[in-house]
């Protein structure tokens, strides 16, 4: 990836997280990164690192090996129309981050030979901890490996079938917000039982990090670890059961489904 030129067209919340993650990577040359948005001033702080920040999407796209689309879904067709005249099919790859916009829909705006991928990272890309789900069209295995390599530099990546991209959006991208809302609620509980907000927050943050890393590093099912915490007749199981009486798991599953159903309507 060191020599690949990357343009992020529409560098907002997600694009900026990706840019930050890439810039942390020793493998990546900041001079190969171009970011665009209509009001680019908010990204000028990245220029001293060697990043190009402009508002001209065509200029950014014409010069890039990988063109990453970070705009909102409804902007994708217009952006593709705008940059199509400068694209070089067979020589460049388009990677869309947009939720719910299919490869087929994008293909109608592009030369049929254009290598096209969808990628669904999350904002933890900022600290190189994203999970990115990828699917593609017209791309060789080598190209797919390049895209994987790009997203592996900001976390981990998996290749999935396109019909699962919306599910990947919900679980991997919206999921960050679900977990953070859970953490906020746990912090509020911590304040009610005696901690000041800062201390409660610190305890919750490290507890969540420890729980996630335990499951990841040991490769075990969450319930297996839960069994080790729930002392018979103890306080954990009482708390967990009370949460379930109030619909904790049901609320999470219903929330996941509501997000998923919303994508269908985007
Ligand atoms: N946020 C997230 O966690 C995730 C988002 N996504 C997807 O990523 C995409 C971006 O989401 P997000 O980053 O949250 O959205 P943002 O609104 O933060 O970013 C979109 C950016 O596009 C820019 N933009 C709008 N129109 C143009 C244009 N014509 N030319 C150039 N830039 C333009 C906007 O800046 P300006 O107004 O200055 O032009 C804005 O900064 C969406 O498609 C979303 O579905 C996917 C996974 C996770
Ligand atoms: O809320 C959204 O629509 C976007 C897609 C996934 C995360 N943010």
Backbone angle region of 164, left / alpha / beta, with phi > 0 → left and psi within -120 to 50 → alpha: alpha
Closest atom of ligand 2 to CA, residue 99: 5
SS3 3: coil
In contact, 17 and 68? CB cutoff 8 Å? no
Among protein residues, the one whose CA lies closest to atom 2 of ligand 2: 174
Say how many Å lie between the CA of residue 16 and the centre of ligand 1: 9
Among protein residues, the one whose CA lies closest to atom 39 of ligand 1: 38
Among protein residues, the one whose CA lies closest to atom 14 of ligand 1: 13
Instruction: Compute CA distances 61 → 36, 205, 220, whole Å.
Output: 10, 40, 44
Query: Ligand 1 within 6 A of 36 CB?
Result: yes
Chain-centroid distance, C-alpha 10: 15
Domains of the chain are 6-160 (3.40.50.720), 169-265 (1.10.3730.10)
Say how many Å lie between the CA of residue 37 and the centre of ligand 1: 9
Query: Ligand 1 within 6 A of 175 CB?
Result: no
Closest atom of ligand 1 to CA, residue 121: 47
Query: Ligand 1 within 6 A of 130 CB?
Result: no
The ligand with the least distance to the CA atom of 259 is: 2
Place of tokens 């099919």: 89
Among protein residues, the one whose CA lies closest to atom 1 of ligand 2: 174
The ligand with the least distance to the CA atom of 100 is: 1
- Residue 27 has what pLDDT? 84
Q: What percent of the chain has pLDDT over 70?
A: 99
Task: Determine what percent of the chain falls in helix, strand and coil, rounding each to the nearest 5.
Answer: 60, 15, 25
- Residue 2 has what pLDDT? 73
- Residue 265 has what pLDDT? 66
In contact, 75 and 10? CB cutoff 8 Å? yes
Pocket test for ligand 2, best of 119, 174, 176 (most atoms within 8 A of CB): 174
The ligand with the least distance to the CA atom of 97 is: 1
Residues 252 and 257: their CA atoms lie apart, in Å, by 9
Those residues of the chain that have pLDDT short of 70 are 265-266
């Amino acid at each position: 990836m060191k020599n690949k030129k990357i343009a992020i067209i529409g560098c907002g919340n997600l694009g900026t997280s990706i840019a930050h993650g890439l810039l942390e990577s020793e493998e990546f040359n900041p001079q190969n990164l171009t970011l665009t948005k209509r009001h680019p001033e908010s990204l000028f702080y990245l220029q001293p690192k060697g990043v190009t920040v402009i508002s001209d999407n065509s200029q950014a796209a014409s010069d890039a090996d990988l063109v990453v689309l970070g705009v909102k879904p409804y902007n994708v067709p217009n952006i593709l129309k705008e940059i199509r005249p400068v694209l070089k099919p067979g020589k460049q790859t388009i990677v869309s981050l947009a939720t719910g916009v299919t490869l087929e829909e994008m293909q109608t705006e592009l030369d049929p030979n254009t290598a096209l991928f969808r990628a669904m990272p999350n904002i933890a890309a900022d600290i190189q901890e994203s999970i990115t789900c990828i699917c593609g069209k017209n791309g060789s295995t080598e190209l797919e490996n390049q895209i994987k390599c790009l997203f592996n530099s900001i976390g981990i990546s998996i290749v999935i079938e396109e019909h699962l991209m919306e599910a990947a959006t919900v679980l991997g991208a919206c999921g960050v917000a679900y977990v953070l809302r859970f953490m906020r609620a746990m912090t509020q509980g911590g304040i009610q039982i005696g901690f000041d907000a800062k201390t409660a927050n610190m305890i919750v943050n490290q507890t969540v990090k420890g729980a996630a890393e335990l499951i990841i590093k040991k490769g075990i099912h969450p319930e297996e670890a839960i069994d080790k915490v729930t002392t018979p007749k103890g306080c954990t199981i009482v708390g967990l059961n009370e949460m379930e009486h109030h619909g904790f798991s049901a609320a999470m599953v219903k929330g996941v489904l509501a997000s998923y159903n919303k994508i269908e309507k985007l």
